[in-house]
Amino acid sequence: MIYYKTNEEIELMRESNLLVSKTLAHVAGILKVGITGKNIDKSAEEFIRDNGGIPGFKGYRGFPSTLCMSLNDAVVHGIPSDKVFSDNDVVSIDCGVILNGFYGDAAFSFAFHNVQPEVQKLLKVTRESLYKGIEAVLVGNRIGDISFAIQHYCERIHGYGIVRELVGHGVGKNLHEDPEVPNFGTKGKGPMLKEGIVIAIEPMVNMGSKSVKQMNDGWTILTRDGKPSAHFEHSVAVRKNGPDILSDHSFIDAAVKNNAEILNISINN
């Protein structure tokens, strides 16, 4: 069942998504070589609670942490650990909060200063593909139009692998609502986009094969070939005048520019 949000509810969701965005910006400000994922996770939880929110992922279906933190060949759902970050790590961070009774959900992938150029390109293309998908968020379009735009850009133009087992989703009073939003598909197929739908669009893109596997921790998803993966996400409302992006990566970009240890992955959108 698809839950349609009122204008007032969408504005409440904007507040929850802005807190997610500011939390990810806070994370971007403290990411450095030698710090651990658990240190970052603890700080993120404190930031969310200090700003009136509740971590949306912690305890969700038993997940143990505030952030999903996925390094290098981890696609999504990584658990922050005691391992220190290295100067050639890619760190994909997914954050959710509950504020005003609604979930916010967004993700961003960070690259430390010694990440290879070809991996930087993977992040750039993945981030650009998010906006290719968002451009298709128009009343009367279908979910497949979003899916096709992302797949075409990543797989057919750039030759990367789009993960099939994990997809975007509706979001609202529940973290995962209908409709599902795959990153692969056919134009004109799937549920129709109508005003008031709010969806989390989240390309998960592998440098090599699309195939993945799950670690024994029951959460972390890895690329099967061990090559790097990237993940970016926005929560977006369908409005009569076009897509309304409720999360805001500009907070994160500003923090990245002020942190000499991580790279600014510029995009064209």
Summarised one tens digit per residue, pLDDT across range 75-95 is 999 999 999 999 999 999 999
In a 13 Å sphere around the CA of 157, the CA atoms on its Cβ side amount to: 14
Alpha-carbon gap, residue 110 to 86, rounded angstroms:
12
How confident is the model over 153-207, as pLDDT tens digits?
999 999 999 999 999 999 999 999 999 999 999 999 999 999 999 999 999 999 9
pLDDT band at 266 (very low <50, low <70, confident <90, very high): confident
pLDDT band at 268 (very low <50, low <70, confident <90, very high): low
Q: What is the mean pLDDT of the chain?
A: 97
Instruction: Give the pTM.
Output: 0.97
Fold of 7-257: Creatine Amidinohydrolase (3.90.230)
The pLDDT assigned to 87 comes to 97
Alpha-carbon gap, residue 200 to 168, rounded angstroms:
5
Q: Residue 140: exposed, middle, or buried by beta-carbon count in 10 A (0-12, 13-18, 19+)?
A: exposed
Q: Does residue 253 surpass a pLDDT of 70?
A: yes
Place of tokens 């991580």: 262
Q: What is the mean pLDDT of residues 224-243?
A: 98
